A = this chain, B = another copy of it.
Amino acid sequence: MGRPPKFSRARLQEAALALVDEHGLEGLSMRALASALGTGPMTLYNHVANREDLEVLVVEAVLAQAQWSRGCSDDWREDARELALTVWRALRAHPRVVPLVLTRRSRSPIVADFGEAMLAALARSGRSGHALLVAFRAITALIMGFAQGELAGPLATSAGEPADEVIERFRSLPRDRYPGLVDIAEAARESDPEREFREGLELLLDGLSRAR
């Protein structure tokens, strides 16, 4: 006997994302999500295969927020930059989901479409085949790596500890042993994440412009 679903997959996705945004990764459980949706845990299994499947759904909810103009400009660097920035911003909007984005694999068309758009831009730098593959791997690595670095890297600013404290911790290292770390910790005080990402991205784009 056909029964209408109690809630849509989209509703479930939205509720799961809200749970992680608000309570972090450990706030996401089948049971917690179920009660947020007003049902029992087992109901979720009508919409989702298992917990990992649910996590992929959360990842895709975040990635879906990356939007870009479909056409392309006459400057491939500008296109690649726009694409990279929109993904990076989507990740930054949901910092507590980043660990999931880094570790779960999605086969959603969102990922393929983004990849294809980025490849279209990079191809216009004059690359194809192996060189295009390397360029693609490098730029996606840079995006994910910057997101990771803010979350868990040496100068990570999130994850509970306030930014100023992390910087202070590095600033107070022995200056003779760690002059470089002290230096960048000072610089980090009057910097911001988007600027750092943009300038880091520009370094790679410079490399992509030069080599052939």
Contact = CB atoms under 8 A, between A and B. Distances in A.
Most chain B beta-carbon contacts within 10 A, residue among A99, A133, A149: A133
Given A154-B140, A173-B112, A203-B211, A196 B133 contact: yes
A3 interface: no
Interface stretch (A9-17, A38-46, A115-123): A115-123
Interface in A117-144: 118-120, 122-123, 128-138, 140-144
B142 A141 contact: yes
Nearest to A134: B199
A120 B144 CA distance: 25
Chain A interface bracket (under 10, 10 to 19, 20 to 34, 35 or more): 35 or more
Interface stretch (A27-35, A65-73, A176-184): A176-184
A190 B130 CA distance: 9
27 contacts: A102-B148, A105-B152, A105-B153, A105-B156, A112-B178, A115-B154, A116-B180, A120-B180, A123-B183, A129-B183, A130-B190, A131-B199, A133-B191, A133-B196, A134-B199, A137-B146, A138-B146, A138-B200, A141-B145, A142-B204, A144-B144, A144-B148, A144-B153, A145-B145, A145-B148, A203-B207, A206-B210
Contact of A206 (B119, B132, B179, B207): B207
For the complex, would chain A's binding face be called helix, strand, loop or mixed by DSSP majority?
helix
Contacts of A202: 207, 211
Contacts of A191: 130, 133
A36 interface: no
Given A204-B204, A207-B210, A177 B116 contact: yes
A153 B138 contact: no
A133 B187 contact: yes
Interface string A41-79: 000000000000000000000000000000000000000
Contacts of A105: 152-153, 156, 159
Contacts of A103: 99, 102-103, 148, 151-152
